[in-house]
Amino acid sequence: MTEDQISFLNLLALRAGEEILKIYAEPFEVENKVDGSPVTKADAAAEEIILAGLAEKFPDIPVVAEEAVEAGKLPAAGARYFLVDPLDGTKEFLKKNGEFTVNIALIEDGRPVFGVVSAPALEEIYWGGEFRDNGKTKTRAFKGTIANGGISDVAPISVRTPPVDGISVLASRSHLSEETSALISRLSVAEQLNVGSSLKLCWVAAGRADFYPRLAPTMQWDIAAGDAVVRAAGGAVVLASTGEDFVYRVPENARKDDLRNPFFLAAGCRNLLRDVAPAA
Residues at the binding site are 66, 85, 87-90, 222
Annotated binding site for Mg(2+): 66, 85, 87-88, 222
3-state class of 98 per DSSP? coil
3-state class of 40 per DSSP? coil
Q: What is the dihedral of CA 205, 211, 214, 219, to 10 degrees?
A: 10
Residue 98, Ramachandran bin (φ over 0: left; ψ between -120 and 50: alpha; else beta): left
Annotated binding site for substrate: 66, 87-90, 222
C-alpha–C-alpha distance, residues 117 and 185, integer Å: 29
Contact 220, 40 (CB under 8 A): no
Residues 6+ positions from 170 with CB-CB distance below 8 Å: 192, 193, 194, 195, 200, 203, 204, 209, 211, 212
C-alpha–C-alpha distance, residues 230 and 235, integer Å: 5
